[in-house]
Each structure stands twice: as C-alpha cells, then as structure tokens.
A and B are shown apart, each in its own frame.
Chain A
Amino acid sequence: MNRQEKQAAVREAINKVPLISSAAARLLELSGESEHGIVDIVNIVKYDAVLTSQILKVVNSAAFARRTEVYSIDHAVSLLGEDMVVGIAMSEAAALLFDKKLEGYAAEAGSLWRHDLKTAIAAKIIAGYARTKVNGDLAFTCGLLHDLGKGVLSDFLRNTPEKIRRAMEEKKVPDYAAAERAILGIDHAEAGYELSLNWNLPAPLPQAIRFHHQPALIDEALKPLLYTIHLADIVAMMSGVGTGSDDLQYTLDTAYEMYIPLSGNELAMVMLGVEQEFSKAAAVFLGKEEEASE
C-alpha cells in the first residue's frame, strides 16, 4: 500500500468508529459553556441508563470507601464532581479506543486512557496559571480527548516503532507526528480531529485535538487553551505516563511563556499536584492506587 492508499484506509477506519452516546456528547459540550452547574450535569446523565448505572457503580466502589450506599444520581454526581462524571462518560463512550492495546505504539492496553486522564488533570491545573482565563473544565475535557487519534492510527503503525526510533535518532524526522505523516499521510492529531468532527463535537474541542502539538498555528483567541493542552501533554509524558514508543518524542513550543508564565518552582508544583490528583482518579478509574505505569 502506498501512502495515499494508507491515508485513505485510515480515513475509512475513522469513519467506522462508532458514534459516542448523546449524553457523552452533551457533557463534552457543557464543559465548554461558562455558566453551568451540577443540576445541568444531572439532567443529562439521568436520561442515560447505562451512564447512570456506571456512575452509581463508581461512587459506591471501594475507592470512595463510603459507609452508606448512594442510590440517587443527584447525590452521586455531586459527590463525584464534573470532571469525574465527564471522565466516566468518555471512558464508556470511547472504550473501544481508550482500552485497546496500541500495537502501533508498542503500548499496553489502557495506556491511552491513563495518558489522556493524566493530561486532562494536568490541563486543569495548568489552566490556573494562564495569563488570560482558561476554562479549567474545558481544559480537562480537551486533555481527555487530545490523543484519541492514536486509537485509530495504531492499527496502521504496526511494526513501525523501531523504524521510527531509528529515523528520529538519525534526525530524518523532527518529531513522532512527522513520522506518522511520513508513513501514513496523516498524524494522530489530524486523525483525532476528523474523528471529533464525525462525532459532531463542538468548537473548540476539534481544534484543540488538531493543534495540541502545534499550538502556534491556531487563532490567537484559542492560544491560551492550546498551550495549556500542549504543556499538559508534556507534563504527563515527563511523569512517565505516555503511550509507548512516541513517549517524549515531541518538541516543546517555548512560546507557551507568553500565555502561561510558569517558573521552575511553579512547574514543580504543577507536577506534584498532578501526581496527587492522578493517584486519586486512578483509584476510581483503575480500581487501585496508582503505581507508576504497569
């Protein structure tokens, strides 16, 4: 198969990814709205029986160590908070992508979910350091979705990780996304962007997915959000939670300093905060205390 044929095959695969539930799509949309509360979330969740049961299962799981059973979805949503509910909705809605073994990236099953969850947590924390206000809930959602394209591309990148590593060592390609484009004619950010359009995700989610490695290319108004996601992705990789062969194989766009003036100590505080929050979230989503990456 030549590159054009591969690109067409990737696009066909993107079009075959099942649509996400309307509840999940509406929750993603809500995260970008400035005025919303727990009531709005409950009003979306309660009409989706599968999501409701999953949320009740999580809130009654050992990770929360509650003495009394929670039966009401209103109570469960208020106990979990918006980020956790969005996380549960997406982990269900896109489980086919999040949970698969990423053979094309030499990564175990669940790696994509762990990386995206850690990026989401980092994005929400980093949003607090932006010069102009960045919506933390929106940053969380963008972080959660930013690498979904890898779930599609992985199948087309089998047997390429070592070849790409050699090409990068020989400086034939500047970063992993460029290597993906050289092989397939499309990279994971573009694949995720096309998938998000198929899912009818509202702006700026598709744009955030598309430009998370190239935040300089987006409209000025979206740059603070995009640099937030860009840095969050890097923080997740630095903390050892990447997606296999492409881990750390991307460049830092230092223009972030214009939008997010992080000092060395502040970055250290971010990393510490991310570790603590991820540990709690992992206890819920992975059913155990997080212990590095296994």
Chain B
Amino acid sequence: MGKTVVVGVGEFAVSNDPGEVIKTFALGSCVAVIFLHKPTRTVGLIHVALPESSISPDIVRDRPGYFVDTGIPAILKKMAACATPGANLTQGMMVKIAGGANVLDTNNTFNIGKRNVLALKKILWPLGMGPVAEDVGGSISRTVSVSVETGKIALSSPTKGVWEL
C-alpha cells in the first residue's frame, strides 16, 4: 500500500508520486475537484467549501482553497510547480468533480452545494477545463480518493458502497 494524502476542508494536494493516493472525506455540500494531467502524470485534488471569497478576504491568505474563486488558481499554480518545468497544463488536462450535496427539500439559500458547482463551472470553462465527469448534487455525502498512478477516482458513501467516477 502506498501513502495516502488526506485533504481537509479548504485544502488541496498535488502529487506526481505514483505510490500516492489523495483522499478527502465526507464532502457534504463541499465539492472535490480532481485535476488529472496525463502528459506529466500530475494529479491534484482540492476540497472547496464555498463559492466566493469576497465574504471573508482575511481567510484567503491562510486558506485560499476554502473558496472556489481563490482555490482553483491556487491549486493550478501548485500543479504547474509540481509538473515538468515549462509544461502546458491546459493541454491534456482532465477535470472531474464530485460533491455538492444538500438536505432534502432545500431552498436556494441553503443550496450551497449547487452554488459551489455553478461557481466551479464558471471558473473552469473559460480555462478550457470544463469537467468531463461529475457526480454532484442529491442528498449523499461522498468520500473521494484518487490514485496518482492510474488516475482512477473512487467515490464512496456509508450506504452506497464504492463506485468509480
């Protein structure tokens, strides 16, 4: 068994070590964004909690990954640093997302999961990194793990078992 890197709320991890697995637990309304850059075999995972950093600019300094609008640039910067120098990350990048759940019969205010997903797409599409796969919404708290070696993403929940994204 290789090393498992655990990503907490508002954190992100990047790796090109094939022995590693990146994992984040119980997303709730948060969303995990997984970046798979095949040409450099670099994998990134970020666990974002809220759509916009404008509500609390102070937090951004310590934990940019907490918000969609600051988290995505931060993880891409880290991926660029981790990948081969000079590599073009926009070429061959595959993005997948999971999470964004909510309680039953929610209203717009409490539908943070949906707002997170919309904010993510708004920032990813102009970068040419629109998600190629997603498992979002519903009332299911997902745990996500990604193998750096294979790029395979496993989702799990207490009652649904394990499935692949």
Q: Which of B47, B56, B102, B113 contacts A272 (CB 8 A)?
A: B56
Which size bracket describes the interface of B in this complex?
Answer: 35 or more
Q: Which residues of A contact B49 (CB under 8 A)?
A: 239, 271-272, 275
B10 within 8 A of A: yes
In the complex, residue of chain A having the shortest beta-carbon distance to the beta carbon of B142:
A240
Are the C-beta atoms of B6 and A292 separated by less than 8 Å? yes
Q: Which of B7, B10, B108, B110 contacts A275 (CB 8 A)?
A: B10
Q: Which residues of A contact B3 (CB under 8 A)?
A: none
In the complex, residue of chain B having the shortest beta-carbon distance to the beta carbon of A261:
B109
Q: When chains A and B are docked, how far (Å) is the Cα of A164 from the Cα of B158? A: 12
Are the C-beta atoms of B112 and A106 separated by less than 8 Å? no
Q: When chains A and B are docked, how far (Å) is the Cα of A80 from the Cα of B5? A: 33
In the complex, residue of chain B having the shortest beta-carbon distance to the beta carbon of A265:
B55
Q: Which of these binds chain A: B20-28, B88-96, B147-155?
A: B20-28
Given known contacts A254-B107, A292-B6, is B158 in contact with A271 (CB within 8 Å)?
no
Q: Which of A251, A275, A292 contacts B25 (CB 8 A)?
A: A292
Q: Which residues of A contact B141 (CB under 8 A)?
A: 237, 240, 242, 247-248
Chain A proximity mask over B37-74: 1 for CB below 8 Å, otherwise 0: 00000000001011110011001000000100000000
Chain B proximity mask over A189-207: 1 for CB below 8 Å, otherwise 0: 0000000000000000000
Chain B proximity mask over A221-248: 1 for CB below 8 Å, otherwise 0: 0000000000000100111111011011
Smallest beta-carbon distance B151→chain A, Å: 22
Q: When chains A and B are docked, how far (Å) is the Cα of A292 from the Cα of B141? A: 12
Q: Which residues of B contact A254 (CB under 8 A)?
A: 105, 107
Q: When chains A and B are docked, how far (Å) is the Cα of A251 from the Cα of B47? A: 25
Given known contacts A107-B158, A165-B160, A293-B26, is B59 in contact with A272 (CB within 8 Å)?
yes
Closest 9 CB pairs of A and B: A240-B28, A240-B26, A106-B158, A291-B8, A238-B29, A248-B139, A165-B159, A292-B25, A293-B26
Chain B positions within 8 Å of A, measured between CB atoms, are 6-10, 24-30, 47, 49-52, 55-56, 59, 66, 101-110, 112-113, 115, 139-141, 158-160
